[in-house]
Chains A and B, each alone.
Chain A
Amino acid sequence: MTLASANAAIDWYFLSPEIVLTAAACVVLVLDLFLDQRRKHVAAFTGALGIAAALGLVLSLAGSSGRTLAGAFEIDTFALVFKGLLALVGLGVVAVSVDHFRASGYAQGEYYFLLLCALLGGFLVASARDLVTLFVSLELVTVPGFIMVALRKRDAKSNEGALKFFLFGVLSTAVMLYGMSLLYGVTGETLLGPVGEVLPSADRGLVVLAVFFVIVGLAFKAAAAPFHFWAPDAYEGAPAPVAAYLATISKLSGFIGLIVVLTAFVEVADLWRPFIALLAVASMTIGNLLALRQDNIIRLLAYSGIAQSGYVLLALALLQPPTDGGASLLTNGSPLVAAAFYLVIFVVMELGAFAAAIGFGRRYGSYFIADYAGLWRRSPLLAVALAAFLISLAGAPPLAGTWAKLFIFLAALDHGAYFLAGVMGVNTVIAAWYYLAIVRRMFFEEPETDVAVEPPRLIRATVVAAGAVLLVLFVYPVLVTYLLAPTAGFVLVGG
């Protein structure tokens, strides 16, 4: 991509989903001022409308590809698939938030404003092909997160979680920014493509350091061990819907950024691959072992989410420097598709599990696993759905989680990564233990009371929708692999 073509006029159509989200965020903020306390939840529906409009624009962009903003912003299949996913998950997060914020009555307007800003950040990450753009968009995801976690400002846990999240976040941001400045210093470029091209011939020590720092920053956002310490406390302290946001949109944005960076720097993959593999093994093992001992479902999902990050990192650790132009897609196609597929399935499972947990929490006021005893008798739909999400997170049929794990195993063996595949195999079985511990309580134990648990309607709809999506994708995963197959190519050829 030469500068001459990159300097062409701004393509507003490419930017339209982001513009709509920005407008929606502003409208929500202003609207909040004029709504009286009982009608504040209208902000939620305004925000959802904005997200839906952005989703429509993303769909209308399907098939297009190209760059604008001097090459810093790219539209391709990869970006569009993840923007679509972010929008859908964003709608889900709004749906599980409404009842919570309406009932608790604090900061309703601000919350949806912050959520829309964060979602806008996620959209931008998917398209960012420039160090500065990437940095700004990543911070747009994280900074609203700091505030959202702290929304329960009179609650000690909320404060503790937010403070940890903030301190770790700022530190990792600083580290990442330092890494980016080193990259700029070494290569004299900020566009990822040219940076990646210059890297192989640059000073090796500096390149290792720079890429390492950037990865650290992104690993923090993806909640990968050993940069995960903030996650369980932030998840637990935050209002539950915010935890759902952290576990899905925030984590997903971190991974999108990681994929963008790693595929751009694929020429020096040998330098960063061992580090990613180490993160993968650490995340899987630490996340799963710590999850074994949790008694709060939100904390359990936080730790299990760390382990799940490890599986995606494993796929990314398989990326190899292209031997020649044509071979790169063949060798790197399967890990990239596996990682992207895992992310798609994972966020839907996670959203479903959080929605079910929030649905239970809204009606029962507890997030302790012990209180789920006999839930099957009290709310069959909620229990069956939560069990299905958990079993799918463990990787067993009958939902699409099976395929997600299978594709990663397949990519690992195709690349001869037997050790990593073995570690993941053992971890998959460990994880089954704690996921099933919840299932066991819900189905095999007697309830203390027979009072039915009826989750709020929007939450029920989210649970059912997530379950339906996963069931359809179990029967016919091609619906997603079809979208992702060109993705792997675009990322590598673009960059």
Chain B
Amino acid sequence: MTAEAWALTLAVFGPVLGAGAVAGLPAVRERAAVPAGIAISTLALAAGIFVAAAFDYGSPATIQAEADLAWIPAVDVRWHIGVDGVSLPLLLLSLLMSVLCFVYLAGHMPEPGRGRSLVALLLLLETGMSGTFVALDLILFFVLWETVLVPMYFVIGIWGGPNRQHAAIKFFLYTFLGSVLMLLAFLAVRFAGGSFDITALSAHVPKGLGGAFGDLVFLGLFLGFAVKLPLWPLHSWLPDAHTEAPTVGSVLLAAVMLKMGGYGFIRIALPLLPDAARDFAPWMGVLGAVAIAYGALCCLAQRDLKRLIAFSSVGHMGFVMLGIATLTEIGVNGAVFAMVAHGLITGMLFFLAGSLQERYRTRELGELGGVLAQAPRFGSLLTYAAVASLGLPGLAGFWGEMLALLGAYQPAPGLPVQLFRVLMVTGGVGIILTAGYFLWMLQRVTLGRPPRSSPPVADVGVIEWTAWGPLAALILVAGIFPQLVLGPSGDAVSQILAGFGS
């Protein structure tokens, strides 16, 4: 194994070892848990940055920092990890968000405390999230995908809001059902293709995966990924989970875990089953467009800030689905960019919503107001994140959705052009509605007069600056230099889409 491969292994599996160490801390060391979490996740991020620095940007379509070891020879499951231009940005996103969450925890430990358990669970979660983006063996992918389930269930159920029990079980069962179907599809892929290796299967698409059988396999993958994304009408776990989860849980759910679904489509479903993907693409596009419109309309009706952001995620993920459904380089690149951008922006929005609730003891839009007057820096950051989310050009939210719509204008050959143009228009209307509800939210929360009963409110503190500063900066940088993401992802996406003749 090369140095890069070791670094990648450390970035992904360091946190789980750290989780064991943190869980084993004696009770008197409860206060050491968060600093330990910061240290371990920073180490993982440093390893990830090393991988990114050593990455050969001249050939982003090649798998790099690759490790390929025998794991369970009896069933030909391999320990195969590596990064290419699509997985690298998502890997860095998950490593970064984890660090920021631990930093945030240093000043905002949710009730009922118990830092050791929370930090250990979040570190376990980190391994599952970042591992999913680098796994190149279907079974390894499945195991890491499942690894996020249990820690997030506990994070929501123990540290969540009043309705947490319901939200936690709903989250678990939805995702569990999806992943069982996904697993069956993986096993069917092996049955037809004779291998679990994603790179080998993508290079030589198995002949057996065509026709009705291929469609059935794709359906399994589709359901598994669509629940995670989540795609309308499989999204109903999301508003509950995001609203009830503690701030760090909402941030990681929105910023990273939703991306696992989109990544699954791009990494596994499209390249392995191109024929079935073409059959399903119009449906995926329609569901994506419905999600955009539905998410926006639901947002207009929300009174709870966190729930509003949660429903806005449904809409944003609709753009990701639409971009993928076009099966074009432009659309899929747009989807990758939109995922990274949504991770940065919505992660920041959930941080802000969490802190807002801590300050005002409420998330009801009707009871908030005048944040800009009381805490000008906080209000400005909220405004900044909200306008980034509604897609203001120059900030990160713009490019992904623009490219997704552009892809829908001219979808891959063989797809119904008229339909996709209708979807494009629907998406465009969705963008307008998105602008509408975010501006309405800003008007309610940041402008006007503070509620009379409001206690004196502190402005952004040092810990908050540390946790949010990098996000604010990256939102701007990615908005001005979209090449940072699109550069590496471009070639990698064209290789993935080689089977679609676009």
Sort chain B's interface into a size bin.
Answer: 20 to 34
Q: Given contacts A406-B183, A414-B191, are A444 and B177 in contact (CB under 8 A)?
A: no
- Which residues from chain B contact A396 at a C-beta distance below 8 Å? 146, 149-150, 176
**Chain A residues numbered 435-492 whose CB sits less than 8 Å from any CB in chain B:** 436, 440, 443-445, 476-478, 481-482, 484-485
Contact A433 B191 (CB under 8 A): no
Chain A binder among B67-75, B246-254, B470-478: B67-75
Contact A485 B165 (CB under 8 A): no
A-contact 0/1 string along B166-209, CB 8 Å cutoff:
00110011001100110110011011000000000000000000
Contact A397 B146 (CB under 8 A): yes
- Which residues from chain A contact B75 at a C-beta distance below 8 Å? 334, 407, 410, 481
**A94 vs B149: C-alpha distance when bound (angstroms):** 35
- Which residues from chain A contact B165 at a C-beta distance below 8 Å? 440, 444-445
Contact A432 B172 (CB under 8 A): yes
**A429 vs B172: C-alpha distance when bound (angstroms):** 10
A-contact 0/1 string along B124-163, CB 8 Å cutoff:
1000000000000001001100110110011001100000
Question: Taking the complex as formed, is A337 at the interface, i.e. its CB lies under 8 A from any CB of chain B?
Answer: yes
Contact A425 B181 (CB under 8 A): yes
Q: Given contacts A402-B146, A428-B180, are A481 and B168 in contact (CB under 8 A)?
A: no
A471 to chain B: closest residue by CB: B20
Question: Taking the complex as formed, is A409 at the interface, i.e. its CB lies under 8 A from any CB of chain B?
Answer: yes
B143 CB contact (under 8 Å) in A402, A407, A445, A476:
A402
- Which residues from chain A contact B177 at a C-beta distance below 8 Å? 429
Contact B139 A406 (CB under 8 A): yes
Contact A429 B180 (CB under 8 A): yes
Contact A444 B147 (CB under 8 A): no
Q: Given contacts A337-B74, A391-B150, A414-B191, are A429 and B173 in contact (CB under 8 A)?
A: yes
B-contact 0/1 string along A294-324, CB 8 Å cutoff:
0000000000000000000000000000000
Question: Taking the complex as formed, is A222 at the interface, i.e. its CB lies under 8 A from any CB of chain B?
Answer: no
Contact A477 B72 (CB under 8 A): yes
* Chain B facing A: main interface SS: helix
B-contact 0/1 string along A387-421, CB 8 Å cutoff:
00001001011100011001101100110100001
A441 to chain B: closest residue by CB: B165
Contact A440 B176 (CB under 8 A): no
Of A432, A445, A476, most buried by chain B (CB within 10 Å of CB) is A432
A397 CB contact (under 8 Å) in B73, B147, B188:
B147
- Which residues from chain A contact B78 at a C-beta distance below 8 Å? none
**A391 vs B146: C-alpha distance when bound (angstroms):** 12
Question: Taking the complex as formed, is B164 at the interface, i.e. its CB lies under 8 A from any CB of chain A?
Answer: yes
Contact B187 A413 (CB under 8 A): yes
- Which residues from chain A contact B190 at a C-beta distance below 8 Å? 410, 413
A334 to chain B: closest residue by CB: B75
B20 to chain A: closest residue by CB: A471
Give me the interface of B with A, judged by CB distance under 8 Å: 71-75, 124, 139, 142-143, 146-147, 149-150, 153-154, 157-158, 164-165, 168-169, 172-173, 176-177, 180-181, 183-184, 187-188, 190-191
* Beyond A443-B158, A484-B74, 10 extra complex contacts between A and B, CB < 8 Å: A334-B75, A396-B146, A396-B149, A402-B143, A403-B72, A409-B183, A409-B187, A413-B187, A414-B191, A440-B169
> What are 13 pairs between A and B in contact, CB < 8 Å?
A398-B150, A403-B72, A406-B142, A416-B191, A429-B173, A429-B176, A440-B157, A440-B165, A440-B168, A443-B158, A478-B74, A482-B74, A485-B74
